[in-house]
Structure 1
């Protein structure tokens, strides 16, 4: 038997032995103890390979019948069936879950648009002069692609087919190569739009919009830490990540670029501008030159366009409210007299109200002062009404503008025809995905659309990408829809099963026992947070993130209020912690995905060893986020004050 199987069986037997040690004598067993027994049995059943969703439902139904056994068989069955129907209906009416199938459908469309190869090739040329460039490009490619798809297995499998042979051919260490692919592929479960955050939001009752805003910077931080680790390791141990050869860095230029480079200049902007003049473009069509010039000027066009829009926003005059001064009294509303013909009238012979004798007069000089005040207010309102000019732009705008302008000049100074070809490769691979991701995230984070609406927009964007890359056909569309329906059904059945299981667990009193046990330890909020994250980290070894979220989060969530812990911050810590669920043996699914497509000489143990340093980075990132919570909370606080 393999070592991995022995390791899994050891954990399983450890759970069972611990269960028998801590369970009381049969005579002292209460319903609460049966709830804890149910919790331990579900972990053992999942490790034995039983389907998670239906195991949750089966145990939930069985233990609910046990809880209602004193009512008699008929009533117990009725109560159990009612519980199943109510919990299933609650899941079906959860609006948050509508986004799940749409995001999954978007992921499968993007995966089948065949962008990953172009993305990896362009990024590894961009990073060619950075130590460990292939591994860095692999992590960035995995991060971008995993963010767009959210499907860890697809990203790890595709990168295993594409990047692993390239890294092994370049002499990279097997463990570093495997670790870069598996760790990078898991970033999609953390960086929005993440299905994990939707599931956590549905379980915890936390806004998915705020979760996405809070997870953005921690996800980028984790990806950056991976890249920094690879660069430092490649710098200290060049044998583990040798630099690329000159042949691998060479870029083949098209004919027009070679002609301009040899005859005029190697710099793209001056070369193209000069080639448009006089006889120098006789051998090159003007249409080609203008098209290449447009691509070359695209960064400048985007920069000046963005700054122009920003200038219009920051200098727009504040909206002014104008108020019309009116004398107080019944006649101040200028109501036509016939509008209220049936209203109150003066009594006959009253002669109207008159000033009483000896009316108080204004003090001397008061009338000119009041008239002057009225004239001053009128003049001020006239100035406001007539003011059509804009306010001055703040100094921050000009600092950003001139800094960007200087960077733009430096960019064009070193922008050669070789870099122009790399830029065009990025335009064909990186930027479409980046625009799709930013459009989906931006519409959610800035409140333009709900997660479900943004997911629909993302699915439509995936269709457009597949069409633009000529990959959209009926067979591809049917396969994507089938896989999206299959994955969505798995997630929804998990929700149904976990809802029934959680209801049975609470009915038996298991939640009360755990709450009483935790509260009896008299932990501080810091100690509770550390204990919770350690438990989740250990659960990541035998279980996947879906099982941890739907089974164990309902146990922790009721305790957060007692320790004054924000469920939003707790969710981001959990999402960062659950990266380990895909990297920790024996149920490290990303390792098995990679092993399935790796060359025969790459062993599973090498893949596991390669993942361990990245698990250490995840723990370090978790500590950073806990010590500096504003990494995650700053953006939602700014956007949703």
Structure 2
């Protein structure tokens, strides 16, 4: 039975590498293996009996309602050209300083991460608006590409993050499963709000590390100023305030309501979606055709996420029916080094899978298999969630299948080679790994705020 579980996992990874649709690959391959298992008597069919309840639970999960709402919020802000205004305003403020354009890209990436959380939209927008300007002002193609790709992925760790919403739901189920395996019957769980709060310090620390690197790298390769002041955007006073204040106010409302305990992440997502729509209407940047495009994009992305979640649920049940859960438990608990060894192996596996799989597949396929074992070993669920989120963030940058690299390649000028993009992201991957090490050495970076606010 356990060899069938290993073969199932291997076949799923192989099919994904061949380019088959993720959701149908997960469900279809699993059902084929379940049929083979029934014929050979190696599959416990009782696990499939839980499938209807599992699927009903997915479609009625109140936490996951935040996903389409945050997606809607992000797409509205993108279509209303908030990102373009932010970049223009930040360039007007910082452009006259040395490395000002690079610093502007990082700061705008942080603001877009906290307001949109959509990696593709952020990378494409900054690639179209900032990359030509950075190349003109003396930045190397590799450095400019790396800065844009890396800051575009901040939406994975800076709340409100769709990745944290998905991780929160998966870890909540894993935490309850871990408690039951230890004979503990408690309503306590890990919430998406806990992960949002826990991600604040690591997210800001990552932004600070990015800023230090871009300032250091720019100081070594640029003249005293990276631009002619005559080239700066003609924005002054009220225009800059009007570009910066509305998205900042929206961020404060969404995150502030969660941190203060006034709203759940799902309720805050509704506030954010409504606020983004009102902001676009007040600025006369929302037409019926644009609203239709926003709703269509939101439906497409949401459908993709939920289809993958349904496919992953089928895979998880079939994998457990072959004894895969017991296999993983025995493997992790028997590793040398105990909890440290198990955590190190899981982090290494997730990092390697990030080269070939998207964060959604890893979140829905791998995390539900390993998280219950790690949580049963006594690992803090919030710390585990933040460690996984930072690790998954690297999957957007690691060649050859890093999605941020593809997004930028699609809008970059021909003078920027693919090899330039690959070389440019390497230092930023190193910075993310450095943050992982810091979180491993000082878990309080992720746990101190949730412990302070909620205990």
TM-score normalised by the chain length of structure 2: 0.92
Choose the corresponding residue for 2:156, options 169, 184, 189.
189
Give the corresponding residue for 1:231: 215
Are residues 1:489 and 2:303 paired?
yes
* Contact 1:106–1:149, Cα closer than 8 Å, also in 2: yes
* Match of residue 554 from structure 1: 368
1:72 Cα shift?
A: 12
Greater C-alpha radius of gyration:
1
Q: How does 1:99-138 map to 2 (within 5 A)?
A: 99-138=66-105
Shift of 1:147: 2.4
How is 1:151-170 mapped onto 2 (pairs within 5 angstroms)?
Answer: 151-170=118-137
**In 2, are the aligned partners of 1:113 and 1:471 still within 8 Å (CA)?**
yes
| Residue equivalent to 2:140 | 173
Residues 1:615 and 2:404 are matched in the alignment: no
Q: Which residue does the alignment assign to 1:542?
A: 356
Q: How does 1:398-409 map to 2 (within 5 A)?
A: none
Alignment counterpart, residue 446 of structure 1, candidates 229, 240, 260: 260
| Structure 2 partner of 1:499 | 313
Query: Structure 1 39/70 Cα, relative in aligned 2: closer, same or farther at 3 Å?
Result: closer
Pairing of 1:511-550 with structure 2 (within 5 A): 511-550=325-364
Shift of 1:80: 7.8
Q: Is the 8 A contact 2:96 2:229 kept in 1?
A: no
Q: Mapping of 1:296-335 within 5 angstroms?
A: none
CA contact 1:96–1:452 (8 Å) conserved in 2: yes
Which of 140, 151, 158 aligns to 2:107? It is: 140
Instruction: Point out where structure 1 has 5 or more consecutive residues left out of the alignment.
Output: 1-30, 253-420
Give deviations 1:280-322, integer Å, cap 9, x for gaps.
xxxxxxxxxxxxxxxxxxxxxxxxxxxxxxxxxxxxxxxxxxx
1:246 correspondence with 2:213: no
**Over aligned residue pairs, what C-alpha RMSD do you find?**
2.0
Q: Deviations over 1:572-591 (max 9, x none)?
A: 01101111110001111111
Structure 1's 123 and 67: CA in aligned 2 closer, same or farther, altered over 3 A?
A: same
* Cα separation, 1, equivalents of 2:336 and 2:437: 23
How big is the shift at 1:425? 3.1
Residues 423 and 111 of structure 1, relative CA distance in 2, 3 Å threshold: same
The change in CA–CA distance for 1:164 and 1:557 in structure 2 (over 3 A counts) is same
Residue 478, structure 1, aligned to residue 287, structure 2: no
Q: What is the distance in 1 between the residues matched to 2:197 and 2:47? A: 40
Instruction: Give a deviation string over 1:467-511, Cα, whole Å, max 9, x none.
Output: 122111111111111110111111111111111111111110012
Alignment partners' CA distance in 1, 2:35 and 2:262: 47
**2:439 corresponds to:** 625
Question: What is the deviation of 1:236?
Answer: 2.4
Asked if 1:639 is matched to 2:445, the reply is no
Q: In structure 2, do the counterparts of structure 1 residues 470 and 543 end up closer, same or farther at CA, with 3 Å as the change threshold?
A: same
Distance in 2 (alpha carbons) for counterparts of 1:423 and 1:201: 41
Q: Match for 1:207 among 177, 191, 198? A: 191
Q: Is the 8 A contact 1:130 1:231 kept in 2?
A: no
TM-score (norm 1): 0.66
On the 8 A contact 1:61/1:80 being kept in 2, the answer is: no
Q: Following the alignment from structure 1 to structure 2, what is the Cα–Cα distance between the partners of residues 118 and 442? A: 24
Among 541, 558, 571, the alignment partner of 2:385 is: 571
1:251-400 equivalences in 2 (<5 Å): none
Query: What is the alpha-carbon distance in structure 1 between the residues aligned to residue 84 and residue 330 of structure 2?
Result: 54
Structure 2: distance between partners of 1:120 and 1:233: 21
User: Are the aligned partners of 2:51 and 2:317 in contact in 1 as well (CA < 8 Å)?
Assistant: no
User: 1:187 deviation in Å?
Assistant: 0.4
- Tell me, yes or no, if the aligned pair for 2:382 and 2:446 is still in contact at 8 Å: no
In terms of mean alpha carbon deviation, does 483-492 or 115-124 score higher?
115-124
User: Equivalents in 2 of 1:81, 1:551: separation in Å?
Assistant: 17
Task: Tell me how far apart the structure 2 counterparts of residues 72 and 159 of structure 1 sit (CA, whole Å).
Answer: 52
Q: State the partner residue of 1:94.
A: 61
Give the paired residue count: 438
Q: Secondary structure at the match of 2:226?
A: coil
SS of residue in 2 equivalent to 1:62: helix
SS in 2 for 1:561: helix
Q: CA deviation at 1:224?
A: 1.3
CA contact under 8 A between 1:171 and 1:242: conserved in structure 2?
no
Structure 2: gaps of 5 or more residues: 173-189
